């Protein structure tokens, strides 16, 4: 009598093979599904909103909202305005330095020119002292800092088109003090000042003329011309 034991192993092999194949398919499907879902649901890093105060320009214009575009435009307009203000201020500083210091017509330049003449004149040095210790300043004020004392000056143009500059200031040295009077003229059509006169008065001593156009004209045989009661060489 034949027994069915010979067919059982084959059935088990087929069943095991089917189970393994089904497990592989199930695992593959599950992994693919999880991977796809993970890629689709990964959130994009959230950036902070762009405002006029935190915009660095790294976010592309195309990614900005309407409000953020307005914020960037506002910031750029502000920056441009600040650049214009800076340029205007810098131009103003250069203009001030030119007109007040470097220009041939500046009072500061003419003041320094007159002080240099005084420091090089042996008569002034005899009454005032060492040139390196002589200082010059304007009228007395409550400010003890001498450089802050204003130089008294007057500028005007006469009827002939000549520009006049008159200055009044003080000099101090180890030996004494003095008062300086200076009158300079730019003849019409010229660009440099010429001295009308420059003198120093030291109390108790004769006036020291460093420049005197009247005396020079008299020596040259020229007669000074009078305008409005004032004689000009």
3-state secondary structure the chain: CCCHHHCHHHHHHHHHHHHHHHHHHHHHHHHHHHHHHHHHHCCCCCCCCCCCCCCCCCCCHHHCCHHHHHHHHHHHHHHHHHHHHHHHHHHHHHHHHHHHHHCCCCHHHHHHHHHHHHHHCHHHHHHHCCHHHCEEECCCCCCCCHHHCCCEEEEEECCCCCEEEEEEEEEECCCCEEEEEEEEEECCCCCCCEEEEEEEECCCCCCEEEEEHHHHHHHCCCCCEEECCEEEC
Query: Each residue of 58-68: pLDDT tens digit?
Result: 888 888 888 88
CA gyration radius for the chain?
47
The pTM is what? 0.53
Average pLDDT over residues 15-37: 56
Strand partners, 208: 200
Query: Each residue of 101-154: pLDDT tens digit?
Result: 556 667 888 999 999 999 999 999 999 999 999 999 988 665 555 555 678 889
pLDDT at 192 over 70: yes
| 224 within some domain | yes
For residue 156, the enclosing domain spans 110-232
Average pLDDT over residues 169-193: 92
More confident residue, 232 or 167: 167
Q: Do 84 and 120 lie in a common domain?
A: no
Q: Do 92 and 114 lie in a common domain?
A: no
Question: What does each C-alpha distance from 80 to 74, 77, 84, 87, 121 come to in angstroms?
Answer: 10, 5, 6, 11, 55
pLDDT for 233: 46
pLDDT for 76: 85
Q: Do 77 and 94 lie in a common domain?
A: yes
Average pLDDT over residues 60-77: 87
More confident residue, 207 or 16: 207
| 149 within some domain | yes
Q: Do 190 and 127 lie in a common domain?
A: yes
| 27 within some domain | no
| 221 within some domain | yes
Q: Do 123 and 149 lie in a common domain?
A: yes
pLDDT for 91: 78
């Amino acid at each position: 009598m034949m027994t069915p034991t010979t067919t059982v192993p084959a059935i088990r092999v087929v069943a095991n093979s089917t189970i393994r194949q089904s497990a592989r398919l199930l695992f593959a499907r599950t992994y693919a599904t999880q991977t796809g879902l993970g890629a689709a649901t990964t959130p994009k890093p959230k950036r902070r909103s762009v405002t006029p105060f935190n915009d660095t320009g790294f976010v592309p214009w195309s990614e900005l909202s309407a409000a953020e575009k307005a914020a960037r435009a506002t910031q750029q307009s502000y920056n441009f305005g600040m650049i214009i203000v800076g340029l205007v201020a810098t131009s103003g500083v250069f203009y001030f330095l030119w007109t007040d210091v470097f220009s041939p017509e500046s009072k500061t330049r003419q003041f320094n020119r007159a002080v240099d003449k005084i420091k090089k004149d042996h008569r002034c040095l005899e009454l005032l002292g060492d040139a390196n210790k002589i200082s010059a300043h304007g009228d007395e004020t409550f400010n003890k800092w001498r450089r802050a004392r204003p130089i008294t000056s007057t500028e005007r143009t006469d009827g002939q088109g000549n520009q006049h500059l008159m200055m009044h200031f003080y000099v101090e040295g180890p030996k004494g003090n003095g008062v300086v009077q200076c009158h300079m003229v730019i003849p019409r059509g010229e660009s440099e000042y010429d001295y009308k006169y420059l003198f120093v008065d030291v109390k108790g001593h004769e006036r020291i003329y460093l420049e005197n156009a009247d005396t020079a004209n008299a020596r040259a045989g020229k007669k000074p011309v009078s305008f409005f009661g004032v004689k000009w060489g």
